[in-house]
A and B are shown apart, each in its own frame.
Chain A
Amino acid sequence: MTSRTSHNARFGAPENAMVFAAGIRKSYGHFEVLKGVDLEVPEGNVACIIGPSGSGKSTFLRCINHLEEINGGVLLVDGDFVGYRLNGNKLYELPPAAICARRAEIGMVFQQFNLFPHMTVMGNLIEAPVRVRGERPAAARERAMTLLERVGLAQKHDAYPRSLSGGQQQRVAIARALAMKPKVLLFDEPTSALDPELVGEVLTVMKDLAQSGMTMVVVTHEIGFAREVADQLIFMDEGVVVERGSPREMIASPQSRRTKEFLARVL
């Protein structure tokens, strides 16, 4: 898929791992938020992460696309480090331009949508392809229309984000992430800020994406979505993975007491 040499084998990851995290540690000052988190997402798979608030789910996602620097562990996306270049046994920190280029391959969808309010829907979609990738505006616009059709919002291309409903805004945000042709999409509670009746339309788009073979890491409280779509389910608490496995089995018969208690609360 890439011209880069994959480091997957060297770090004991399967050849097809799109996201590989081993022993990820992250601290803010003296407070350790992530205490050795492992994750392996093969290409085309969907991993759902659940867990109580404050357990470090968002922090973990932000480590994957290097919005946060990790303090320990190995994190590979598509077989390579996001913020570093491996040479022998040394990791050289990449210059900002190189980090941004790598980060562009990792899409992210936020709880609060974070659309750019001063740009139209179309402006939101073509901003990064044009300014970061140097695509021709006409070509970027054409592709953006295709993506908007895919999320069912082609007629809204000229609208400003604030005139859209939360569900529509989140679908635009997904299309915006897709416009960069990412290798993997990270979702941070994409439906938590939505009115209940708007959750469905966003989940539908996400299911469609999963079926089309997009690699996805989804932090969510939508257990139904996890059961139906996810290839693996991860339960995190206090910075560690407490339990992982097949979604159906884990939801039906959780092994750990903490998982049991958490599922009882959200189901």
Chain B
Amino acid sequence: MADSAYKAPANATDTTALVVVPLRHPFRIAAITMVVISVAAILYSVFTNKEFQWPIVGHYMLNPIILRGLATTITLTVAVMIIAVIIGTIAALMMLSPSRLLSVPARVFVWLFRGAPALVQLILWYNLSIVFKTITLWLPGVGTIFSVQTNDVMTPMTAAIVALSLHEAGYMAEIVRSGLNSVVRGQTEAALSLGMRPALSIRRIVLPQAMRLIIPPTGNEAINLLKTTSLVSIIAVGDLLYSAQAIYARTFETLPLLIVVTIWYLITVSVMSFGQYHLERYFSKDDRKTGRGRSRGILRRIFSFRQRAAVA
């Protein structure tokens, strides 16, 4: 209050001598004390309890079998996410089609594969060979083109990729659909009025703008998916969890190995969250720097549509 035009009367208290006494929060202090004591107790018991066998945890962190399992988990996540984004985008475009012949099947697809639990779908695909013994492509007049034993094709890994991709595609379809819906109708009309074909106008005009709303929830989905892939251990895919199980089935070091698995999941999720945080910041920046000229770098050029305006 230094340079104020306000002139205090002569007999007033000197304002610079005032001291602010903060309000005390007795309950907050009590709560903090309890949390600190609990955390200390848990840490103490975890680190002193012999059952946790911390040296063994350290020993297995970089075990080749564990690392191979981690690689499988990451590969599975990436593959499933890519397939799910492709199928989900197609399903979303179909859902938005004015033709019922396209929109109804897409809706049924989403309803079915998003509705049924991932675990059930996983076991179902794995057991497909029981229902369909062979997969045959047969054309009238031409005859059998090829025929394979379902057991040969439907390996655990294939079953895992198919089941999780379809499940995830159901979620992606909804995310892409709401993103596309958010782009105002006038954008498509402007594109069409310039002679652009519907497919071109979606690719060049609608999708780049929808991306802003599609990217953040897709990041969430990828992180969720990473954890969901642990379900595949049930059909004997050698992912991170399954590799740990394989080891402790022999050595009975159950707890330390599960801690190893947990730590690896946490590390991977943290890395992904870090990436997601930056992506989201990228898209929420909302063009403070419009008209600043060409973006540098490939990533910037790919994502330069963040410079989107909120056209009424």
Q: Are A114 and B190 in contact (CB under 8 A)?
A: yes
Contact status of A117 and B308, CB under 8 A, knowing A158-B293, A162-B290:
yes
- Per-position binary interface string of chain B over residues 150-174, scored 1 when its CB falls under 8 Å from any chain A CB and 0 otherwise: 0000000000000000000000000
Q: Whose C-beta in chain B lies nearest to the C-beta of A115?
A: B311
Q: Nearest-CB distance from A95 to chain B (Å)?
A: 10
For chain A, what secondary structure do more than half of its interface residues adopt (helix, strand, loop), or is it mixed?
Answer: loop
A-B contact count, CB below 8 Å? 98
Q: Whose C-beta in chain B lies nearest to the C-beta of A161?
A: B309
Which residues of the other chain, A, contact B19 by a CB distance below 8 angstroms? Answer: none
Q: Total interface residues on A, using CB and 8 Å?
A: 37
Q: Are B200 and A108 in contact (CB under 8 A)?
A: no
Q: Nearest-CB distance from A67 to chain B (Å)?
A: 6
- Per-position binary interface string of chain A over residues 95-139, scored 1 when its CB falls under 8 Å from any chain B CB and 0 otherwise: 011001101111110101111111010000001100111000000
Q: Are A131 and B196 in contact (CB under 8 A)?
A: yes
Which residues of the other chain, B, contact A151 by a CB distance below 8 angstroms? Answer: none
Q: Which A residues between 140 and 163 are near B, CB-CB below 8 angstroms?
A: 158-163
CA distance A96 to B196 in the complex (A): 10
Which residues of the other chain, B, contact A118 by a CB distance below 8 angstroms? Answer: 208-209, 304-305, 307-308
- Within 8 Å of chain B (Cβ to Cβ): is A216? no
- Within 8 Å of chain B (Cβ to Cβ): is A70? no
Q: Total interface residues on B, using CB and 8 Å?
A: 30
Q: Are B309 and A110 in contact (CB under 8 A)?
A: no
Q: Are A100 and B195 in contact (CB under 8 A)?
A: yes
Q: Nearest-CB distance from B61 to chain A (Å)?
A: 45
Q: Nearest-CB distance from A19 to chain B (Å)?
A: 15
Q: Are A96 and B194 in contact (CB under 8 A)?
A: no
Q: Are B194 and A112 in contact (CB under 8 A)?
A: no
- Within 8 Å of chain B (Cβ to Cβ): is A177? yes
Q: Nearest-CB distance from B197 to chain A (Å)?
A: 5
Q: Which of A67, A161, A180 contacts B189 (CB 8 A)?
A: A67
Q: Whose C-beta in chain A lies nearest to the C-beta of B199?
A: A96
Which residues of the other chain, A, contact B311 by a CB distance below 8 angstroms? Answer: 112-115, 117, 161-162
Q: Are B193 and A160 in contact (CB under 8 A)?
A: no
Q: Nearest-CB distance from B66 to chain A (Å)?
A: 44
Contact status of A162 and B310, CB under 8 A, knowing A114-B189, A118-B305, A131-B200:
yes
A-B contact pairs, 10 of them (CB 8 A): A100-B196, A103-B193, A106-B193, A107-B193, A116-B191, A117-B309, A131-B196, A159-B290, A162-B308, A193-B312
